Amino acid sequence: MELLAICPPWCLPANSAVKVKSGAFFMSEDYNAGSVNPPPVSAAGPRLKKPKIKATPPPRLPKEPGNPPNSKLIIILALIVLVLILAVVLVIVLKKDKTGESVADGRGTAAKVMTSGNVELEIDMIRIEGGQFQRGDTFGGGRTDEYPVISTDLQSYQIGKYEVTEEIYAAVMGIRPRTAGNLPAVNVSWLDCITFCNALSSLQGLEPFYAGDLSSPAGVKIVAGANGYRLPSEAEWEFAARGGNQSNFSIYSGSNSPGEVAWYTANSGGRIHPVGTKRANELGLYDMSGNAFEWVWDWGEEALVDREWGPTSGSYKVFRGGSAVYPENELRVSARIRHRPSRKTVDLGFRLARSGA
C-alpha cells in the first residue's frame, strides 16, 4: 500500500519504507526508518500534485413563460403598418383632389381642378369670417354714391386670394390665353364672369350658383343653397377689402400708403402686373386695391342699399378696387364705379367667391 507523504521520511514511524517517485515520497511497510539515512530532500520541499479543478458552468435561469419576440416578425408588422398609413394618406389626398378642397393654410383652401384639356388648375380661396362693419365712405371726401354709411352684417364666406388670372380663365373657357398667364384676366364683361363661374363649378363637381337666362344680365338668377363659384356681393367685396374682422381701418386695402399694396398710375407704367406682386391686406388678399378693377354681383344705384344682394334690378353693374391706370382716389376701399354690364376694358377683371366656409 502506498501513501503520499506529507512530511519528511524521518518523521515516519519505524518499520516503514519510503519510495521516491517523481520527486515525491511514498511509504511502504517494509521501510525501516532507523536502518538507513533518509533520502535527500529538496530545499523547496516535496513536490505535490496539483488537484485538477473542473470548471462548473453557471446555473441556467428558468425561461419566462411565452415565446421570445421574433425580430423578423416585428419588422414585417412595422412595414405593414407603414403601408397602411401611407394608403390612408393617399386616399385622403385623392379625395380632396376630387372635391377640389385641401387646406392651404389656417384660413384658406386651394381648389385643384382638372380641365377638359387635362390642365390642372389651383384656385386659392381665403375664408372670411362673418361679422358686422360700417360700409361706405367712413373716411370723408368720397363721392355721393358711397353714402349713406350702412352698418352691414355678413355671414362667413370665401373669396379669391388673387384676381382670376388669364391662365385660369383661358383653361376653364377652353380658349387660347390672350396675355401672360399670371396677369389678371381682363377684357371680360359681367356676363363673361357669370359664365366662367358656372363652368368652373361644373369642372369641380359643384352645383352652379347661377341659373336662368345667362345671355342677359336681367335673366341671371341665383340658385339658393348652391355651393358653386360666384361673384362676391358688393358688401362682401368691401368687407374683405377692409380686412374683415382683422381690419386696421386703412384707406386702401391693407395700408394707408397706396404704393405698398397697389399698382396704379404712379407706379404701374400704365399697365397691369402679375397678381400677388404687391403686399397683401390683413386677410392675405392681394390686389384688392389697384392692378385691375373687379366686377361684383350687385346692380348699381346712386346710393348704397342695405340689402344682401343689392338692388333687384337696374341698368348698371358695379366694379370695385381701382386699377393700374387710375389714380389713388379710386383705390379707396369705399370707392365704386357703376357701368353697363357689357363693358370690357384692359383693366377690368374679377375675383371669385363662394358661400359658406
For residue 107, what pLDDT is reported? 62
Q: What is the pLDDT of residues 329-343, one digit of tens each?
A: 999 999 999 999 999
| 88, three cell numbers | 390612408
For residue 73, what pLDDT is reported? 81
Instruction: Give the other-Cβ count within 10 Å of 190's Cβ.
Output: 25
On the CB side of 114, CA atoms within 13 Å amount to 6
User: Residues of the chain whose pLDDT is less than 70?
Assistant: 1-70, 88-107, 116, 357
Residue closest to 29 by CA, chosen among 16, 18, 38: 16
Q: How high does pLDDT run on average in the chain?
A: 83
pTM for the whole structure = 0.71
Residue 25 pairs in a beta bridge with 20
* Ranges of each domain in the chain: 1-42, 98-355
For residue 179, what pLDDT is reported? 85
Instruction: Give dist(CA 57, CA 52) in Å, integer.
Output: 16
Domain at 98-355: CATH architecture: Alpha-Beta Complex (3.90)
Buried b (16+ CB within 10 A) or exposed e, 315-344: ebbbbbbbbbbbebebbbbbbbbbbebebe
Reduce the secondary structure of the chain to three states and give it as a string: CCEECCCCHHHCCCCCEEEEECCEEEEECCCCCCCCCCCCCCCCCCCCCCCCCCCCCCCCCCCCCCCCCCHHHHHHHHHHHHHHHHHHHHHHHHHHHHHCCCECCCCEEEEEEECCCCCEEEEEEEEECCEEEEECCCCCCCCHHHCCCEEEEECCEEEECCCCEHHHHHHHHCCCCCCCCCCECCCCCHHHHHHHHHHHHHHCCCCCCEEECCCCHHHEEECCCCCCCECCCHHHHHHHHCCHHHCCCCCECCECCHHHHCCCCCCCCCCCCCCCCCCCCCCCCCCCCCCCEEEEEEECCCCCCCCCCCCCCCCCEEEECCCCCCCHHHHCCCCEEEECCCCCCCCEEECCEEECC
For residue 101, what pLDDT is reported? 39
Please, are residues 27 and 43 in contact by the beta-carbon 8 Å criterion?
no
For residue 146, what pLDDT is reported? 96
